Chain A
């Protein structure tokens, strides 16, 4: 069996090579064609210009042509310079906002041609003026109609060239995943706590004889508490005392969510994590926390940061929205939410329904590329929320979350990202990952299918050889089905599903030839043959 698999994969690897080579050849051809078209266009331009300016003196015409070629050289050089300039910022390859290199560069070329055109018009109008002055009395070759005709001809050429370029670049336009989940921020609530100075912790100290050195008054109470918080005394004191007063709790909670000072929000977050995770002393009363936050408070903080659950704003609109800043308190929000979930043995802070919503919200945060570097934090958070449920709750909640997420996420690469961010490291996350993939599949087929076999039937019936078959969609279906079936809990009981899956994979891997140049053809083919090897070697 092992031998067979080994052979299979090396065969696969060889094929891979061929298809890549074929791809490269095709790319090179495309590029050559492109260059040729560009050259042809430049030639055409030169001719047109020559035709327009045929009455001019020879040296002027020569100058004009020279300018054209110089100009086109400049455009090419500029392209090179730009590429070099881009090179050190290697992360830009990743950046959705900066990245659309193919499109951009081509667009720049087009702009270059437009420049060329306006340039030319300027030159031409000057020349025409001169010509008119010079040849006032003589017979006029350059009638206005004549000019207009030539103009129309020129703009036709430019237009057709532009269209061709768009055709060439059109197939690479499938955008990567990424949504903008935060829009315009609202004004945060004011952060003043008049009752803070009167908390028992400070009050009881005011008459202490040591206060002659400390100089604590009711007025500087908040500043002093800030010091206690930042230097880490506060959590140690309240844990030693075994009591967290309401005023301290609400104050620190609001600092996490709304403070603009990094140090305060980080210390406040550490404070809550400490008191929530503190194990109760064996020989003393458990730490009493007078006040706990509620889900609605966490939720309203998100909406103040500008969170919009329906993703009405796409990543494209971000460029224009230059005044945008990442919600700085989000990191604290994520850590705090995770800590609240981990403390269920102490206090059930969220209702089941609220925890379900939290899973969805955190999943949505994964879909914004600006939080990509927070993915470790987000993974820990989503795991904590998932572990918050009791076993009974989880069975129904998992399905609910999956259905709701499936309706929320767009059915492009974002839905694959949604599945990927649920990192099947334990049974619950595996369960959820499979359920989410399945529900998205159902939505993809507009709920035409209701049973598992029906879905696979629909998939098998897609004709991949058909020219109109959308292979990008096919790729999405393939990955979703993979994730659904990989960790599907009771698959062993349904051998027919596995068989249908095999049929589907074979149709994807065998019916798409390695020379198929359609976008995503090679991706679907490679993925399917990879999965096929995986299922046969089981």
Chain B
């Protein structure tokens, strides 16, 4: 199933020739050095993409490109090395799926010899290895990934105001690239895993090894991820309060800051947000697969135990129950992947509903789905009791977001993008719309002073519009 060697090697001539471009570069950052590095990037690009049967760059070349992204000082160099790395990932994936012609099954093909941004050797042997270009840069290990997220978190959450510079942008791009690598490694494995239920494929995925690595503190890493994610959202929430400019945002660049950078930071932060969301989603999916493998008895003791990310998120949401706390709002507002968003909210609700149920035994039985929760709330006594636990604002906020996620899933379901209906339950969209209106109505009926939040009003509008559309 796995191939260790392939046609991509044996091109030492080209490698030496291209790496020679970097040989003259000094540690100093003069314009000439910079020119040489950019010339190197362009040469790798030309060698990999332009010929009819372009070949992937060799290990050393790939590593040198990556090091330019890691330590590059000039914006031009950072941007071009990032773009090249992303394009290389796309063109020459290390792991990919091939469909075997005879049977309808997929086959996983892994080029183990290919370069990876992560240093997989557990004990450091990196002192022997030297990066091309003369200056030894240690390969990135898993703890480097944790450090990267920590640094980004410090910038975004304001403990490090001075850092709005190329380094901040570089770190964001680095993170985006690493997530891209993790994704490229995980997705093909998942496709084959779903057919074969071979847990080994996922166990050996980069993401699983990263999360299980002894060099990192998994919980701290997840906490940093969430904090960074929420911080990025805060930056964007800050923007809508003051009219449009980045004047009041946390990442306000100093006046004499490089203008191109200030202009692009907003967009870079947005794509970093997407990358973090992708990372979180991948981890939750991996958790789910692991749980399945657990139940099938495919996991071993070596797999270790780790708290599912979902639990960590729901705990974090629980901990910050105050409506003024931006965390809840930020995460809900920006986390746009609908299936997991809905799942998070459903888990959050059912945590409280389960508590109710343990005291009384007549609780809902299908509380793990959105329509189950709506049915539970349709009983106004249930709803009243529930409001003693969580404020009406939070309930409104969660319901509105859950409804929106449901709306998106159901439109995607019709389009055939998503074949999972498990979180949605069996109710039709029309029924859900009715239930949402009913629940929000009874929320305002329970207490006359209850103010309906704007987002809940919008949910009401959406639900009523869809109902009217279906009736006409």
Q: From A20, A261, A376, A534, name the one whose CB has the most chain B CB atoms within 10 angstroms.
A: A376
Q: Kindly identify which residue among A205, A371, A486 contacts B461, using a CB–CB cutoff of 8 Å.
A: A205
A363 touches B (CB below 8 Å): no
Instruction: List residues of chain B with CB within 8 A of the CB of A94.
Output: 34, 73-77, 166, 258
Stretch at the interface among A158-166, A236-244, A345-353: A236-244
Contact with A along B381-413 (1 / 0, CB 8 A): 000000000000000000000001001100100
Tell me if A282 and B458 are in contact (CB < 8 A). Answer: no
Q: Which of B82, B167, B333, B414 contacts A283 (CB 8 A)?
A: B414
Judge whether B468 is part of the interface by a CB distance below 8 angstroms: yes
- Asked if A374 meets B264 with Cβ closer than 8 Å, knowing A210-B464, A328-B244, A420-B42, the reply is yes
B 252-281 to A, binary, CB cutoff 8 A, 1 in contact else 0: 000010111111111110110000000000
Per-residue contact bits, chain A 209-242, to B (CB 8 Å; 1 contact, 0 not): 0110111100000001001101111001101110
Q: Secondary structure at chain A's binding surface: helix, strand, loop or mixed?
A: helix
Question: Given A210-B437, A213-B444, A213-B457, A370 and B16 touching (CB < 8 A)?
Answer: no
| Cβ contact within 8 Å between B415 and A279 | yes
**A26 CB within 8 Å of chain B:** no
Cross-chain contact A373 with B462 (CB below 8 angstroms): no
| Complex alpha-carbon distance, A232 and B444, angstroms | 24
Q: Does B416 contact A (CB under 8 A)?
A: yes
Total number of residue pairs linking A and B with CB closer than 8 Å = 239
A residues less than 8 Å from B24 (CB atoms): 16-17, 19-20
Q: Which of A213, A487, A523 has the most CB of B within 10 A?
A: A213
CB < 8 Å: which of A12, A211, A372 contacts B17?
A12
Residues of B within 8 A of A214 (CB): 452, 457, 460-461
Across-interface contacts of A109 in B (CB, < 8 A): none
> Given contacts A91-B75, A93-B74, are A260 and B244 in contact (CB under 8 A)?
yes
Q: Is B65 an interface residue (CB 8 A)?
A: no
B23 CB-CB contact with A under 8 Å: yes
Is the CB–CB distance between B165 and A372 below 8 Å? no
- Taking the complex as formed, is A13 at the interface, i.e. its CB lies under 8 A from any CB of chain B? yes
Can you name the residue of chain B whose Cβ is closest to the Cβ of A95?
Answer: B258
**Complex contacts, B46 vs chain A, CB 8 Å:** 424, 486
The residue in chain B whose Cβ has the minimal distance to the Cβ of A413 is: B35
Q: In the complex the two chains form, is B76's CB within 8 Å of A236's CB? A: no
| A189 interface residue (CB < 8 Å to B) | no
- A101 to B, closest residue via Cβ: B31
Given A20-B24, A423-B45, CB of A262 within 8 Å of CB of B466: no
Q: How far is the CA of A94 from the CA of B34 in the complex (A)?
A: 9
Least CB distance from B183 to A in Å reads: 17
Q: Does B458 contact A204, Cβ atoms closer than 8 Å? A: no
> Chain B's interface: helix, strand, loop or mixed, by majority?
helix
Q: How far is the CA of A131 from the CA of B91 in the complex (A)?
A: 83
A328 x B23 contact (CB < 8 A): no
Q: Is A81 an interface residue (CB 8 A)?
A: no
* Size of interface on B: residues with Cβ below 8 Å to A: 89
B166 A328 Cβ-Cβ under 8 A: no
State in angstroms the CA–CA spacing of A1 and B49 once bound together: 23
Complex CA–CA separation, A91 to B244 (angstroms): 26
Given contacts A94-B74, A487-B50, contact A240 B466 (CB under 8 A): yes
A59 within 8 Å of B (CB atoms): no
A232 nearest CB across to chain B (Å):
6
Of chain A, the residue at the smallest CB distance from B444 is A213
Additional A-B contact list (8), CB under 8 Å, known A231-B458, A282-B414, A372-B260: A17-B23, A91-B261, A92-B258, A214-B457, A279-B416, A374-B267, A527-B39, A534-B47
Which 4 pairs from chain A and chain B are nearest by CB? A373-B264, A5-B13, A263-B240, A94-B74
Could you show 24 A-B contacts with beta carbons less than 8 Å apart? A1-B13, A6-B16, A91-B73, A91-B258, A176-B31, A210-B437, A210-B441, A210-B460, A214-B457, A224-B457, A228-B458, A228-B462, A230-B240, A231-B333, A233-B461, A237-B462, A261-B240, A326-B263, A328-B245, A331-B267, A370-B259, A486-B50, A530-B20, A537-B14
